[in-house]
Amino acid sequence: MHYFTLSYTHKNTPIDTREKLAFTDDEDLKKFYEKILALPCINEVLIISTCNRVELLASVNDVSEVAENILFEFVNHHELLPDELNEKGDIHYDIEAVHHLFRVISSLDSVVLGETQIVAQIKDAFSFAYENGYCGQKVARVMQNAFRCSAAVRSSTDISKNPVSVASVAVTKAKEVFDGNLGGYTAVVVGAGEMGELTAKHLAKAGVNIIIVNRDIEKAHKLASMIDSVTVTVEPFSELKNLVNHYRLLFSATGASGVVIGDDITEQVSFTRHWFDIAVPRDISQTNCKNITIYAVDDLKGIMDENIKQREKSAEVAYGIVDKFTQDFFKWLQTLSVNPLIKEIRDMAKECSEIEIEKAIKKGYIDKDAREQMAKILHGAFNAFLHHPTHKLKNIAEQPQADTVVQSIQLVFGLKTKQRKALDTYKWDYQIEKKSKDRPKKELS
């Protein structure tokens, strides 16, 4: 059995090709699963499809033609020209495939290093595949360890703790201005596009009530319906003047080509206002009004750059964790083979019977000449006793509960199953220095 991955991402495949590889809905995805599972070499499959990647993880019997066969199905299913996938994507086998998966789920392969969304996306993909019977024990084994690896990376590093997007940095800066707590405040969000949506979501996480203003009010209502953890209201664009002069917090993220908030609508008020202009070009012009602090993208960029450096430092530690989890996974995998376990139990029984025969001879219970006959009797008795458990163990070897059963038997019998010589395909080649091309470059001091 081998592991195989085929990976199309922002790193190796242009966006127009990735868009063609996307699945229109669950039914479309199911049809593709069925095509892949119909291939003779495939045991189980997991497909991960997000805006930045399409990944396929498979358990396969033979790796000789698996890549060619799966590539053909991608081209055929998505009605592509063969050349459209030529020299695109990355293919990994066995330990390299598992290392790649652990790296992806630990967000070391994401557009934004350390982003947390990928874990939920992979959990959803795995649940879909498992519940529909597209994957089972073999993929489940590696996924369980992948989730543990991701959790270890997040608990042992700060890779996800420092915000690196303009929207998240702006909200974090607002928290600092208001002594670390925005709960209960109200913020005006101008714009309901991608950046406005991100800003609104970060504000909602911080417990901020939100007023959305947008020229297309239907789009504003659609954004408001996506947020349910705080109070969200929608106001028409004609109310912008009243809003900017009434609330302390404002975040502007429109796609306008010119100024949206200028002196023509800004009035002097008695309280301090903090406005975050995260649009390019800028939405807010400098004002003569007092008690207004304006933070533009350039003001936030320094924070973003510093946070990115911190994430890159954490990534070095994270790669070490990924390396160890990959190595440990294959060591563990080698101990789960049923046949060595059965052999060790039989060897243990044989050793015990021979020890008891020697004791019986020394005490004069049996004659030395009867040793061979007694050994046959005892070995036969042990084999008869172990016949049903052995048969049962072989039957459940391919079932999801097999791993738990095997480890329980190892514990109960006190077995220390000798690891077979590392499987030829499971050699560990991922020393940190050999993976430098995938890792953030260290700055020269």
For 297, counting Cβ atoms within 10 Å of its Cβ (0-12 exposed, 13-18 middle, 19+ buried), the class is middle
Residue type, 431: Q
Contact 138, 43 (CB under 8 A): yes
- The strand pairing partners of 273, in sequence order, are 292
Contact 113, 164 (CB under 8 A): yes
* Mutual angle of helices 371-395 and 402-413, in 10-degree steps: 150
Catalytic one of 51, 149, 289, 352: 51
Cα separation of 436 and 442, whole Å?
A: 10
Contact 159, 142 (CB under 8 A): no
Contact 4, 93 (CB under 8 A): yes
Active site residue 51: yes
Please compute, for residue 225, the number of CA atoms within 13 A of its CA located in the half-sphere on the CB side: 6
Pairs from 284-289 (Cβ < 8 Å, separation ≥ 24): 284/252, 284/259, 284/260, 285/259, 285/261, 287/262, 287/263, 288/263, 289/263
Kindly list the catalytic residues: 51
